[in-house]
Amino acid sequence: MRPFVILFWLAEAGILFCVWMIYTWQLSRAELLVGIGAALLAAAGAEAVRGLNFAGFYPLMTWVLEVRRLPLTALKGCAVLVEVLWRRHVLKREVRGGLRTVRFEAGGDDARSAARRALAVAFVSFAPNSIVVHIDRERGVMIYHQIIPTTVPKVARLLGARP
């Protein structure tokens, strides 16, 4: 095993341990021990899967940095849900969501294209108003459902959607 793999595994375990501690929000001895064990086990599992090389993931850093848009996207999506609840339960109006199809440059089997598709699915589905149902690579389209139809999310356009 190469040294950088061990360092990466330890760094990953450290991050996972921090997530565990934030999740439990307790400094008891039992939580610390279980957190360390769970983090080491999860990092080992991640390394085992990574070693199989069955799925490549090689995103551009600009794509990954789009994560900064997610908090505002979530707030806007929650506002849409409040609007839906208002329309349905106060105004007694019917609200119909629907499937949308947009052109999407899906790419091929390479790790860069797989990363772009995975990030598009994750980022578009993050908001409560929309969820990606399918990316059809043959037809070059992304199909997603929205509770209230809006414009194509900006992050989807940055990752290859063409309205």
84-101 pLDDT, tens digit each = 999 999 999 988 889 999
For residues 17 and 39, give the distance between their C-alpha atoms in angstroms, rounded to a whole number.
5
Examine the pLDDT at 1 and tell me if it is beyond 60. Answer: no
Q: Specify the residue for token string 């934030």.
A: 22
Alpha-carbon distance values, 119 to 22, 52, 156 (Å):
25, 21, 9
Q: What is the pTM of this model?
A: 0.68
pLDDT of residue 121 exceeding 90, the answer is yes
d(CA 144, CA 22): 33
Domain coordinates in residue numbering, the chain: 3-52, 61-162
